[in-house]
Chain A
Amino acid sequence: MTKSNHAEQIETITSSQKHDQSDSDDEHIVETENTGRRKFIGYMLKGSSFAVALHITGGALRPQDANAQLLGIPELADELDLTDLLLISGDPFYYDYLIKITSDNRVRFELPRMEVGQGILTAAMMILAEELDVEMSSIDATLSPAEIRRATGQITGGSHAITSLWDPLRKVAAALLLKIKLSAAVHFGLSVNEISTENGFAIDNDGSRIAYSELTAGVEGRNDAARLAQPKDPSQYKIIGTQQKRVDARDIVTGKLDFAMDLDVVPDAMPTLVARPPSLGGRVITFDDSEAIGLPGVLAIKEVPLDVDANSSGVAVVARSFGEAFRARDALNISWSVGAAENLSDAEVIEQLRAINLPTLPNIPLATDSVGGEFIFPYLAHAPMETMTAVADATGSKVRVWTGAKTPLAAQAKIARDLGVLPTDVELNVIQSGGSFGRRLFFDAAVEGARISQIVNRPIKLMFTRQDDTKFGRARPLSLHNVKATYTRGFLIGKKVLSFDHRAATAELDLEHGFGDGITALGGELAPAAFSQTIWHSTQLVQYKFGVTSLLLNEKKFVVPTSSWRGIYSGTAAVANEIVVDELARAMNKDEYQFRLQMLDDDRSKAVLRKVSQEGNWGRSMEKGRAQGLGLHKEYKSRAAVLVELQTFKDPEKESKVTKIVVALDVNRVLNPTGLEAQVIGAATDAITYMIRTSLHLDNGAIRESSYGDFEIARMRNTPPDIEVHFMPPNGETPGGAGELVVPAAAAAIANAFARATGIAPRRFPLRDFYPEG
């Protein structure tokens, strides 16, 4: 884990505890440090007022910086961010891998994370191959099933996968390699220093070789002693930092990669669909299946039982094929109760959010002026290509489920609660999935599938239709942001920025998945609102010297089910901030690039900004209607800068087109440049989707969109051929996160280019809906 200054400060607070246990071994001290940090964070989270806790935090953490409190409340994320929270809660469980050396001298490895296309399986195999001196092609890797002992160490999300694998996987592999060398030393009758290793063999100084499989069976289970292992020096790396293609690339292009619905794990698991209500929250009153039950292939039709929280879903249809299930579903005659929010539409949600939003600081009359305004980001579907799916068999003594879950232990626990069994009686197998973007933090199909399997008493394959996935969520919550930057008018001296306020009011973000567990593990039981506040304050910051800054969140629950969308709050809030940074620069008669460079309080951000400016030729003259735009983002221990070029059209039939994207990234160390570049380009494409093209609409209690036909994500013609991605060189620190990093920066760059091309201040998105003539 990165030991930055603030981490050392936190440890100072716990030093008396460390002192008391000075006779314990190193391993114990590691535990104690964590316990101390966890207590401290728990105290912070449970403070009666979060703002007060923040103040204490600022003071406690930076006693040497007396001006800090006068300048404003430091953002929590500057001191302790979500990556830290996830790492601290997960760390006690990280030194636990299955790495078996098989009799044919191959390596069997289980990754206790989720692969959804982001490439972490490939990256983890690179770390393992590097530290164990084996070839990538000799590793057979799968995803770990839910394993209760992993607790908060089996969560994938918040872009912390690589950061959280880096030390533990390197060290466990290094400890195994040392064990192999020691065995080889005994075998050859030499000292361990005379043994080298290569491609799965230990070699003595005469070149005699012995396979690893002759020396060890590998490791399995918790292995905290490995914390003391010494991984390789980066100067020796042969694999880490090199271009490695996806390990499943060949299986993908030949159609061999199996997703959950392709599995043949339970041969008689039958295709299952659910008939869902016409509006959100609607319930089955009665249903008549007489026209459906006799159709070809139909095996069972049952109302889905309410879940343990009394949520209803609809009527399940099991058939021999999904086509037959579709037809039977459509032949059902169901009488639905109207959802609780039958008259609720986007406009009312916006109005209610506006009513709960906290006020920004007032201007001082005559002396100060301000820029900014109200930004609104709509509901947004995650829309992964593979909808929510699960194979479920609740017919035996153990409930068995195969599904894509980024928080498999939360899924296992929820299934157990729903079915009234112990979590240990639920076998939850994690299956590589077709995309997530935040959607698979939740495991709705797995939970519903287990209930259906139980009620129809047969194994099933539950698939959400695309329409289910679009209409019933989950979605990125609609959010409203009031952003205001104040500056002196500068009668005698120059203009000076005095304050930066962000007041967000969002539809409540459902965080009661594994993130919640991770945070609860630190802070004790928290109400849902405290989850949100914790995520907000541990992710949101302003990285500019803007005087007094305050970023506050208020939330309200509505009927649309929600889940974090790639970037969590940053995909909206940080974008609004960067738009206002551009407006502030112009208000102060400064160039947007120069102004950022002057005001940034972060050297790594300055470096990536300079990089995109140079590589993207910032300030070059453009034809009328075209412009460049900049966006920055700092999160996950990483930094991103994006420069885009945008072409806008007066013709309302034509939408703005991104013609070039230049990205510079500082992630401390790049493991796999080709994998990271793919994430960057994907994130930039996401930004095109939600800033320019599409959204969901809540319309009288139901989502209006139903498929890719009306939820129009970016396509080939919306993606520029000209995309450049630049990485900063390694700086010795633990690799930072990057899966979400570029989303806010690219989104801001698009909005800023739009403003510079058209003179329109973008406030609502997608741009093509709200500014058709721009």
Chain B
Amino acid sequence: MTKLKLSGVSKAYGATLALRRGDLELDSGEVHVLIGANGSGKSTLCKIVAGSVRPDAGEVLLDGRAVTVSGPRAAQALGIGIFYQELSLADHRSVAENICLPDLPRQNGLFIDRTALRAEAERYIALFETVAGAALQADTIVGDLRADQRQLVEIMKALATEAPILIFDEPTSALDRAQVDRFFEILRDLKSKGRSIVFISHRMDEIFAIGDRVTVIRDGETVGTTTISETSPDAVIHMMVGEQETLATPQAAPPIHAPSTDIALKVEGLTGAGFHEVSFAVGRGEILGLGGLHGQGQSAILKALFGAVAPRSGEVKLAGERLRIDSPRSAIAQGLAYVSGDRGRDGVISGRPILENVTPIHALRNRLLLARPGRLAEKALPALKALNTKFAGLSHSIGSLSGGNQQKIVIARWLIDKPDILLLDDPTKGIDLSAKADLFALIRELAAEGLAIVLYSSEDAELLNNADRILVFNGGSVSRELSGAERTRYNLYQAAYEAA
């Protein structure tokens, strides 16, 4: 029986169309998987159902009746609970207060009933007792918890709404295997009680382990819905990428460079927050890949090399000379460049013109005092052209561009005055396929020009297709080095999962 039906739901933020046409049919007693690439509109769809985003158009039917979800409170009243990908926790409040925050139990009308609050929270904490870790107690302050524990609290908070419809937007991204298994047991139990569950995850194995049906969203549009038992991971991926599948399958590995004797960057025994005793060397013209599961220290070490966080010990040598890097500023001066995949946080100077977003490095390296738009434009345009960047004018705000083009602007910064070392920290996160293709073409070109490039990517295919050598990270240190013919998906997986 159809519990919830969305048809033709859309949402635009300014010029960006986040959701073009979202359709979804959710039955009672099913786990309905929503899948699609980053930025395809899944989260927007969920937030519309949960009332925290106002749709521009479309219809929401609950139990066959058209409803307007006017806000998160209204959604709760209609029986819709949600787990937010970015979490909706109050960091300085206790676990119990967070779990019950939407409806804190009262006594005498005015006061919080501490006993009831605790009892209520304990019920949900107990669900994860075996896998949550000792620190997760009712009166622990949420800010003191690990990332996975915070994610569990957000799950408990969603469960505590006891809503007939539960939406989970990437609830498992920080959880370990045991935690996921326990969560799935709970989901199956809820399902058996007739609850309707929307589940989002990027892990194909999870989707096939827990899902009943799957709906695929591509570029803000619902592509189709199929029954999980009648489909395969390949078929789902096919639906996700549409006609552009060629880019998703690994190509033949690129020609192997002769191990360069011309060492550009040498890292020896570098230790810091999230990584320890890491040593490697990159030659001129080489693309060194950093692989492994997400968050094994790859990103942390790149940030440390760029001076954004201080390492505790170890040595970095650039062309044989010891580097003293205490800030990105000094790193840039010594010829390093860094591109973050988290462009909203680390890259884009929001609300400012495209020109100002392309030229800060040029201004710094040439110690410019004056910003002459004409001259800067002369410098900026070739860099933007090298990346096939699409934009209406240099004076337009960077916010007017799509995610992929914004990232191209951020990368173009480094192309006016070429650095010696290019550090790429998952640079293609959340950008479209054609932008990725443009980007990697450029990276190969830069390597050919003699730059040393260190590339971390969370997508294995990108590493296998582009890196000359791959260091597989595990638990903060290098567990294996793959070069030449060893660079296979199998070896990469094996090294990544070995100790995990």
A, B in one complex = no
